[in-house]
Amino acid sequence: MNYTIEVYKKDGRCKKGEKLKEKVDMMDVDTLEEVEAIASKMYPASKGYRIEIHETMVERFNLMSRKLYMERYDTPICCSPASETYWSM
Protein backbone atom coordinates (compact mmCIF):
# COMPACT_ATOMS: atom_id res chain seq x y z
CA MET A 1 0.00 0.00 0.00
CA ASN A 2 1.23 3.49 -0.80
CA TYR A 3 0.86 6.39 1.60
CA THR A 4 1.33 10.14 1.30
CA ILE A 5 2.43 12.34 4.18
CA GLU A 6 1.23 15.94 4.19
CA VAL A 7 3.56 18.07 6.31
CA TYR A 8 2.26 21.30 7.85
CA LYS A 9 4.33 23.80 9.80
CA LYS A 10 3.17 26.52 12.18
CA ASP A 11 3.25 29.92 10.52
CA GLY A 12 1.73 33.00 12.13
CA ARG A 13 1.59 34.82 8.79
CA CYS A 14 -1.16 32.52 7.47
CA LYS A 15 -4.87 32.76 8.30
CA LYS A 16 -4.99 29.15 9.49
CA GLY A 17 -1.83 29.54 11.55
CA GLU A 18 -0.02 26.87 9.56
CA LYS A 19 0.97 26.20 5.99
CA LEU A 20 1.53 23.14 3.86
CA LYS A 21 5.26 22.58 3.66
CA GLU A 22 5.41 19.48 1.46
CA LYS A 23 3.83 16.20 0.40
CA VAL A 24 5.97 13.08 0.63
CA ASP A 25 4.97 9.84 -1.11
CA MET A 26 6.03 6.68 0.75
CA MET A 27 6.18 3.84 -1.76
CA ASP A 28 8.36 1.21 -0.06
CA VAL A 29 6.56 1.04 3.29
CA ASP A 30 4.30 -1.86 4.24
CA THR A 31 2.25 -0.65 7.20
CA LEU A 32 0.71 2.56 8.49
CA GLU A 33 2.69 2.19 11.73
CA GLU A 34 5.96 2.31 9.80
CA VAL A 35 4.86 5.46 7.99
CA GLU A 36 3.90 7.10 11.30
CA ALA A 37 7.28 6.20 12.80
CA ILE A 38 9.22 7.58 9.83
CA ALA A 39 7.13 10.75 9.70
CA SER A 40 7.47 11.48 13.40
CA LYS A 41 11.27 11.17 13.15
CA MET A 42 11.51 13.38 10.06
CA TYR A 43 9.00 16.00 11.23
CA PRO A 44 8.84 16.18 15.05
CA ALA A 45 5.88 17.96 16.63
CA SER A 46 8.28 19.72 19.01
CA LYS A 47 9.59 21.73 16.04
CA GLY A 48 6.12 22.92 15.03
CA TYR A 49 5.25 20.25 12.46
CA ARG A 50 1.90 18.55 12.06
CA ILE A 51 1.49 15.58 9.75
CA GLU A 52 -1.47 13.97 8.03
CA ILE A 53 -1.17 10.53 6.48
CA HIS A 54 -3.38 9.50 3.57
CA GLU A 55 -3.64 6.45 1.34
CA THR A 56 -2.26 7.76 -1.95
CA MET A 57 -4.78 6.05 -4.21
CA VAL A 58 -8.50 5.85 -3.46
CA GLU A 59 -11.26 3.96 -5.20
CA ARG A 60 -13.96 6.06 -6.87
CA PHE A 61 -16.92 5.55 -9.22
CA ASN A 62 -16.90 7.11 -12.67
CA LEU A 63 -20.09 9.18 -12.74
CA MET A 64 -21.01 8.28 -16.33
CA SER A 65 -19.94 4.66 -16.69
CA ARG A 66 -20.46 3.63 -13.02
CA LYS A 67 -17.18 1.72 -13.11
CA LEU A 68 -14.70 1.73 -10.25
CA TYR A 69 -11.31 3.28 -10.85
CA MET A 70 -8.31 4.34 -8.78
CA GLU A 71 -7.53 8.02 -8.34
CA ARG A 72 -5.03 9.97 -6.28
CA TYR A 73 -6.65 11.24 -3.06
CA ASP A 74 -5.88 14.91 -3.74
CA THR A 75 -7.20 15.09 -7.31
CA PRO A 76 -9.08 18.39 -7.75
CA ILE A 77 -12.84 17.95 -8.12
CA CYS A 78 -12.82 19.51 -11.58
CA CYS A 79 -10.34 16.85 -12.79
CA SER A 80 -12.13 13.85 -11.32
CA PRO A 81 -14.50 11.75 -13.47
CA ALA A 82 -16.33 10.99 -10.23
CA SER A 83 -17.71 14.55 -10.10
CA GLU A 84 -20.47 16.31 -11.99
CA THR A 85 -18.19 19.30 -12.50
CA TYR A 86 -15.81 17.21 -14.60
CA TRP A 87 -18.59 16.13 -16.96
CA SER A 88 -20.23 19.56 -17.28
CA MET A 89 -17.17 21.26 -18.85
Mean pLDDT split into 10-residue runs, the chain, 89 residues: 91 87 89 92 92 94 95 95 91
Burial of residue 49 (number of CB atoms within 10 Å: 0-12, 13-18, 19+)? middle
Residue ranges covered by each domain of the chain: 1-55, 57-89
The reported pLDDT for the residue numbered 79 is 94
Look up the pTM and report it: 0.81
